[in-house]
Structure 1
Amino acid sequence: MTDTLEPDDAGIAKAAGLLGAGQLVAFPTETVYGLGADARSDLAVAKVYEAKGRPSFNPLIVHLPDLAAVEAIAIVGPNARALAGAFWPGPLTLVLPLRADAGISPLVSAGLTTVAVRVPEHALAQRLLRAFGGPVAAPSANPSGRVSPTRASHVLEGLSGRIAAVLDGGPCAVGLESTIVLPDPDPVLLRPGGLPLEALEAALGGPLGMGGDADKPTSPGQLMSHYAPAAGVRLEATQARVGEILVGFGPVKGALTLSESGDLVEAAAHLFQTLREADRLAGPGGHIAFAPVPETGLGRAINDRLRRAAAPRP
């Protein structure tokens, strides 16, 4: 059985103890729920790949409580330091050179010489990281390739019986995974996410390059078929076809909507919950259609997730 832990001192202490014993614990961040494991333990990290059915060539994000803890395992260059100062704690992951004495399991970085690191803003995540006292590898707490979880109930739908516990912190506020950047020497956006590109470029004083390889991921979140419901997905729809569940946005009305007012922050927060609900309404062999979303601000990350949800399944 998978325990559901309350977001209090007792729940945090039990979650930290389970992590210390090499078990898997799902916990909330401001983006989505992560599936936590001791990043120093080969066995614990291997359990993450097993529980999720995740390809072993797809690296994981290490969660840490502050910049000092990041510097203990990775080399922080000038652009990385500028971005960390502007956006940590928050929904930003940086891909940094891994220190030789970091003590991180090579399974975390999938054998690369870099490591993806993040300092989450969520108060409960911060309390858990400090109670545990070590680096926590934590991809999204869902079966690999499926819709990311923004509530404890979503975690249990996909992973109940496969993990030790989920720390219930309620719904996630941002609702999209973190933005991933390779900051130095020349900053490159590897995955759009909960921090808009425009904010990053303003902090750096210049444009970011675009990167990422679906065949040979250099960071999490680059696989082409990802965030996928059971139903088929069609994009840029203005009306439903026969047998489709239309998810609207702004002026396009549907059975469900990401945001009636066309608010991208609201749409981001609702994306994965709405995708799950549309999948339930569509039923076996069903289809979902999504209204157009602007390719600006958080819309860039929303569209990235929708394109991956609609990609051909492996």
Structure 2
Amino acid sequence: MDVAPEILAPDAAGLARAGEILRAGGLVAVPTETVYGLAARADRVDAVAAIYRAKGRPDFNPLIVHVASLGTARRLAVLDERAENLAARYWPGPLTLVLPLRDDSGLAPAVTAGLPTVALRMPDHPATRRLLAETGLPLAAPSANRSGALSPTQPRHVVASLGASVAAVIDGGICSRGLESTIVALRDNGWQLLRPGPIGEAEIASVLGEPLPLQGGAIEAPGQLAQHYSPGKPLRLGAQAAQAGEFLIGFGALKGDCTLSATGDLAEAAARLYQCLHEAAASAKPRIAVAEIRETGMGAAINDRLRRAAA
């Protein structure tokens, strides 16, 4: 009989129990400001393998490693002046940096899917920051859901998707940002935006200059697969109204069965995106329609997730 995961409070006792599970090589779902992550110690092959097994994740898809400090980041990767500047400005926060991996990083090879780079982030959630600091471990932590499915922004989403595959869930409430981190890869001759997120391309460009164009190649970070974030139902974008059998996700003046933001606020829409998609997936209606979202600011990241969900 499957055993439901432990639900841990984000207090000293809960974090101590989470640390015990992680040190032993187990899986713990952790809250971040973006989405819940499925965490395991990044320095053990068996622990990282458990992430891939639980998610049903393809092994060519690298994992983001979460760190407690810049010191840890410097031990795992090579940070040049650009990386240091971005970290000083945006960490802790929703920015992931893809950087050259150090030969002596000690990370399990599956974390980077055999690539010479590693994706690093310092999350901005008090419970997970304490957990990282108290365990002293870098934690590999992709989103805490089955691969390709909707990302979780609250504990019940994790339990519904992963069930007994995860030992425990730290209940940190609803994620404040609700959208996965921006991923930036630093290259010898510039930088590339691998995944749009809460920190917009224009904001990064104001620090680093214009990005290099993306070209086909190896998957270097999560969220680059053409089909991802799937609600498991046909999804129509740019809707002006609901058609028969559609669960309508509204925005602005277009009210829906679930509305991202009645005022057209893109930050609110990002925070509510997965909540509305989860509601649509659970509804009796066989199809989903989503109102048009303007392609400015955080709207670019929202539309990126919706296009992949509709693929």
Identify the TM-score tier after normalising by the shorter chain.
over 0.9
In structure 1, what residue type is equivalent to 2:239? A
What does residue 209 of structure 1 align with? 212
What does residue 201 of structure 2 align with? 197
Using the TM superposition, give the Cα deviation of residue 240 of structure 1 relative to its aligned residue in structure 2, in angstroms.
Answer: 1.2
State the identity as a percent.
53
1:56-94 Cα deviation digits (max 9, x unpaired): 000000000111110001000222122111101100000
Determine if contact 1:77/1:184 at 8 Å carries over to the other structure.
no
**TM-score calculated relative to the size of structure 2:** 0.96
For 1:36 and 1:59, locate their aligned partners in 2 and report how far apart those are by CA, in whole Å: 14
Within 5 Å, give how 1:223-242 maps onto structure 2. 223-242=225-244
For 2:45 and 2:214, locate their aligned partners in 1 and report how far apart those are by CA, in whole Å: 29
Of residues 27-36 and 176-185 in structure 1, the stretch that sits farther from structure 2 once superposed is 176-185
169, 172, 175: which is aligned to 1:172?
175
Within 5 Å, give how 1:138-177 maps onto structure 2. 138-177=141-180
Structure 2 unmatched runs, 5+:
none
1:33-52 Cα deviation digits (max 9, x unpaired): 00000100000000000000
Determine if contact 1:73/1:98 at 8 Å carries over to the other structure.
yes
1:193-215 Cα deviation digits (max 9, x unpaired): 121222212222x22234265x7
Supply the RMSD in Å over aligned alpha carbons: 1.2
What does residue 191 of structure 2 align with? 187
Using the TM superposition, give the Cα deviation of residue 216 of structure 1 relative to its aligned residue in structure 2, in angstroms.
Answer: 3.2
Within 5 Å, give how 1:1-314 maps onto structure 2. 1=3, 2-185=5-188, 186-204=190-208, 206-211=209-214, 213=216, 216-283=218-285, 286-311=286-311
SS in 2 for 1:268: helix
For 1:134 and 1:266, locate their aligned partners in 2 and report how far apart those are by CA, in whole Å: 33
For 2:215 and 2:92, locate their aligned partners in 1 and report how far apart those are by CA, in whole Å: 24
Of residues 18-27 and 237-246 in structure 1, the stretch that sits farther from structure 2 once superposed is 237-246
Using the TM superposition, give the Cα deviation of residue 282 of structure 1 relative to its aligned residue in structure 2, in angstroms.
Answer: 4.2
Using the TM superposition, give the Cα deviation of residue 253 of structure 1 relative to its aligned residue in structure 2, in angstroms.
Answer: 2.2
For 1:197 and 1:296, locate their aligned partners in 2 and report how far apart those are by CA, in whole Å: 10
Distance 1:288 1:310, change over 3 A: same
1:202-232 Cα deviation digits (max 9, x unpaired): 222x22234265x731111111111101211
Using the TM superposition, give the Cα deviation of residue 125 of structure 1 relative to its aligned residue in structure 2, in angstroms.
Answer: 1.0
For 1:59 and 1:108, locate their aligned partners in 2 and report how far apart those are by CA, in whole Å: 6
Using the TM superposition, give the Cα deviation of residue 20 of structure 1 relative to its aligned residue in structure 2, in angstroms.
Answer: 0.3
1:248-268 Cα deviation digits (max 9, x unpaired): 111222222111100000000
Determine if contact 1:38/1:136 at 8 Å carries over to the other structure.
yes
Report the number of matched residues. 307
**TM-score calculated relative to the size of structure 1:** 0.95
